[in-house]
């Protein structure tokens, strides 16, 4: 495998040999390969930058979604606490609300006893 990232890579050596030997078809092929590799490296770098940007966007979207979910959970918990408090208040008031009816029932039944 040719290592393009070393200062004196195999590709550079091959390129120098073709120039020294004046092997122009091989030299043109070397130029073509070098251009193609340069274009390919540029494309890969661009893809890498795009991937990093997309990764950052996804991370931000995930964080925002998590915040929205946590806010919804907090609202649900607050509603549950409110409902429990309201139920406790109504439960406390329920016996006192029944009391007048039971007293009224007793007075009606006592009237029936006196009349009958």
Give the residue ranges of DSSP H helices in the chain. Answer: 10-20, 24-115
Q: Quick one: angle between helices 24-115 and 10-20, nearest 10?
A: 150
What local confidence, expressed as pLDDT, does residue 37 receive? 80
* Segments in the chain below pLDDT 50: 1-3
Residue 77, CA atoms < 13 Å, CB-side half-sphere: 6
8 A C-beta contact, residue 21 and residue 28? no
57: left (phi over 0), alpha (psi -120 to 50) or beta: alpha
């Amino acid at each position: 495998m040719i290592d393009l990232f070393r200062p004196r890579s195999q590709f550079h050596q091959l390129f120098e040999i073709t120039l020294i030997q004046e092997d122009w078809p091989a030299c043109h092929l070397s130029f073509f390969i070098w251009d193609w590799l340069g274009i390919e490296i540029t494309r890969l770098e661009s893809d890498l930058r795009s991937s990093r940007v997309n990764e950052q966007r996804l991370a931000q979207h995930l964080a925002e979604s998590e915040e929205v979910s946590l806010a919804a959970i907090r609202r649900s918990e607050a509603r549950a606490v409110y409902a429990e408090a309201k139920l406790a208040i109504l439960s406390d008031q329920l016996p006192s609300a029944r009391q007048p009816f039971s007293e009224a029932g007793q007075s009606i039944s006592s009237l029936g006893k006196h009349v009958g």
